[in-house]
Amino acid sequence: MIANFIFSLLLIAAAWLFTKNIQRIAGNIKLGKPVQIDDNKGQRWKNMFRVAIGQSKMTTRPISAIMHLFVYVGFIVINIEMIEILVDGILGTHRILAFLGSIYPILISVFEIFAVLVILACVVFLVRRNVIRLRRFWNREMTSWPRSDANIILITEILLMTSILVMNAADGLLQSRGNEYYAAMGSFLISDLMQPLFAGMSDGGLIILERAGWWFHIIGVLIFLNYIPYSKHFHVFLSFPNVYYSKLGPLGKMPNMPAITNEVKMMLDPDAALQPEASGSEEEIGQFGAKDATDLNWKQLMDAYTCTECGRCTSACPANITGKKLSPRKIVMDVRDRIEEVGKYIRKHGKDAEDGQTLFDRIKDEELWACTTCNACVQECPVNIDPLAIILELRRYLVMEKASAPGEINATFSNIENNGAPWQFSNEDRLQWAG
């Protein structure tokens, strides 16, 4: 009875803390500018099932895809057993799903197979990160914390899966010895093979081992649950809505600013009537582009929180490949870190408080102008994050607010303004530059 009470308190505390963490992240995302994304719902649902659930974009790298599939499916399947563990913990029962009869050992055996596959995948991932040391896991933005975060998660998953197998092995031995609390339920495929490791233990020792495995697993899961919001692994929750709300139109297309579009139309045709949706005052325009994370829209902030830090975007980026400082992954990570910083400051000092920092304290102009807008990063991301949209908004701020751009681009702007063409020849001399 005391154990049930303690378990229930732990469960309530973990659920409360997780809810607070979710509210914190949701509040940070809502600091972004509003944007309406409610078009073509049918296509959005298809994208979510294909990309987020079907993992379609993972297949470009087969080894990663297979290993990730083991973890992904294992995470879903094994969580079914968590239902049993939670009910047992609250009610004080033992293997409440055993009423399924002959189906139960088959079910547990399936769980165990996936537990082994998860362990295998995590070991492979650890080797790739720490022994083979794939380049994309050791870029300059992958400082000690991002690398440690990945290792913590992988090791935790190995320990959680191992605890299930150890718990079942001890349980199986107690069943075979006729312990009244551990009624015979049939053979478990993987844990039965582990029983010789513990066969020399007494019944009391096996009970301690089985209970230790049970408690280790459930407490580990509750801690893991509340660690995830501070980790890159928060994508296990956000990848689905992020894919749903991802861009359906042409990749790299910049959203026009209606008021500016109208000004251009008026310049080209002074007699044109103002369109109601395009008219706007200077106050309505506010600021061109993004100076800080709060100048981005909520979808771009959601992108930042969904980032898995896998580095596929950076490894596919031609600018990065040729040695330039641009790393799309770093851009997204910087946005996430900055909005965390802003959110924390606002919660402490009030809604309108500013800490004097901007995204440009983290992201240098050189990184932004190295981008070729080729969309390789957007195409490569397995959860449809759009780093290019963030880069373009930061560039827009530099050009339109700071008049800051590389000399070649400024020269192009001047030529267009003075000559009506990107080159130093005017339209009247078109044949000189068209040829």
What does the pLDDT look like over 209-234, one tens digit per residue?
999 999 999 999 999 999 999 999 99
Q: In 3D, which of 356, 365, 352, 353 has the Cα closest to residue 397?
A: 365
What does the pLDDT look like over 6-56, one tens digit per residue?
999 999 999 999 999 999 999 999 999 999 999 999 999 999 999 999 999
Higher pLDDT, 427 or 315: 315
Distance, CA of 229 to chain centre: 10
DSSP symbol at 59:
G
CB 4 within 8 A of CB 91: yes
Q: Is the pTM of this model over 0.85?
A: yes
At residue 284, the pLDDT reads 59
What does the pLDDT look like over 273-328, one tens digit per residue?
555 544 444 445 678 999 999 999 999 999 999 999 999 999 999 999 999 999 99
Percent of all residues in the chain with a pLDDT value above 90, rounded to a whole number:
72
Q: Which residue has the tokens 């050992």?
A: 105
What does the pLDDT look like over 52-106, one tens digit per residue?
999 999 999 999 999 999 999 988 888 888 889 999 999 988 899 888 899 999 9
At residue 265, the pLDDT reads 79
Higher pLDDT, 257 or 144: 144
Mean pLDDT within 410-434: 73
Output the 3-class SS for 317-362: CHHHHCCCCCCHHHHHHHHHHHHHHHHHHHHHHCCCCCCCCCHHHC
Q: Which residue has the tokens 């040695």?
A: 323
Burial of 34 (0-12, 13-18, 19+ CB in 10 A): exposed
**Residue 336 pLDDT > 50, yes or no?**
yes
What does the pLDDT look like over 122-161, one tens digit per residue?
999 999 999 999 999 999 999 999 999 999 999 999 999 9
CB 382 within 8 A of CB 58: yes
User: Cα dihedral sign for 19, 21, 26, 27?
Assistant: positive
At residue 426, the pLDDT reads 64
- What pLDDT band is residue 433 in, cutting at 50, 70 and 90? low
Q: In 3D, which of 381, 362, 390, 224 has the Cα closest to residue 308?
A: 381
**Helix-helix angle 387-400:328-349, to 10 degrees:** 70
Which span out of 93-97, 206-210, 264-268 was modeled with the highest average pLDDT? 206-210
Higher pLDDT, 425 or 159: 159
Q: In 3D, which of 259, 320, 296, 282 has the Cα closest to residue 392?
A: 296
- SS3 category, 131: coil
At residue 345, the pLDDT reads 96
Tokens at 296, concatenated:
């981005």
CB 308 within 8 A of CB 415: no
DSSP symbol at 55:
-
**Residue 170 pLDDT > 50, yes or no?**
yes
What does the pLDDT look like over 385-411, one tens digit per residue?
999 999 999 999 999 999 888 888 888
